[in-house]
Amino acid sequence: MEVVAYLASALIGISLGLVGGGGSILTVPVLVYLFGISPLLATSYSLFIVGSTSLVGAFQNYRNGLVQVKIALLFGMSSVTTVWLSRKFLIPAIPEHIASFAHFELTERMLMMSLFALLMLIAAIAMIRSGRAQTAEPSVANEDLNYAKLLLYGIGIGLTTGLLGAGGGFLLIPTLVLLVGLSMKEAIGTSLFIIALNSLIGFSGDFGHFNIDWIFLLKITMIAITGIFIGGYLSKRLNGKKLKIGFGWFVLVMGIYILTKELFF
């Protein structure tokens, strides 16, 4: 099982390198089900793993001129703040036993993993649809940004990242293409930078709340970072749209499995 767990850790980075947005959705399930880590601690570890891996990917894209730093910082102002506040105040306030309804007891684990499973279902549908769709043209120019919408989207993505430890690339990329007007390649590079900011700064909000096993965390992070190089290499030789559709169906099945397992077994 340990070998499978470490291979799955590599798959986190490989999937991120292959399909861009949505790749980091595997991190929390791998940590919870294969390494046996509690869901809340897994979301914390996920922030560090996803943030570090995304930072490496963002640097690669920056060297190729595919990261719009100004856009990332504008978007990041609201999302980073929301992530940090969520980790600092919201996560510690979640009790282990939340509520009871007749013979049904809602626990912190059940709530977190069920919400994460729903996020996986949304991400899967988004990946399948984007893989089947024709490449969308940007709808607005950068100088015509809707700052109010950008602020609201930033808060929404920040809350998702802060609560569930997911990067939110499947939400960020279409937002950057359709709302901001970036090309698809620029949207992927810029989203990786935003994810890195959100995740790593959000992780700092956990200091004092958890006992971090740094040796384990750094080991998994290095495996995931190695995976993103492998994924980037493979993405140049494989059909990206078919990969995204296939990965989307995989995430959909995993999401249904997790939801069923947590609610009924």
pLDDT value at position 139?
45
Q: What share of the chain is helix, strand, coil (3-state, %, to 5)?
A: 80, 5, 20
pLDDT value at position 144?
61
Least confident of 48-52, 81-85, 127-131: 127-131
pLDDT band at 142 (very low <50, low <70, confident <90, very high): low
- Average pLDDT value over all residues in the chain: 85
Question: Per-residue pLDDT averaged across 121-150, rounded?
Answer: 69
DSSP state, residue 184: H
Question: Per-residue pLDDT averaged across 53-60, rounded?
Answer: 89
List, in sequence order, every residue forming a beta bridge with 97; answer none if it has no partner.
107
Which H/E stretch holds residue 119? helix 108-132
List, in sequence order, every residue forming a beta bridge with 104; answer none if it has no partner.
101
pLDDT tens column, 81-99:
999 999 989 988 888 888 8
The rounded distance, in Å, linking the Cα atoms of 161 and 254 is: 19
Question: Per-residue pLDDT averaged across 14-35, rounded?
Answer: 81
The rounded distance, in Å, linking the Cα atoms of 6 and 57 is: 20
pLDDT band at 252 (very low <50, low <70, confident <90, very high): very high
pLDDT tens column, 163-196:
888 877 777 888 888 888 888 888 888 988 998 9
Percent over 90 (pLDDT), the chain: 32
Token pair listed for 124: 């899967």
Domain that holds residue 54: 2-264
Q: Could you give the number of structural domains in the chain?
A: 1
Token pair listed for 256: 């249904």
Return all residues near 111 (Cβ < 8 A) that are at least 6 apart.
94, 98
pLDDT value at position 81?
92
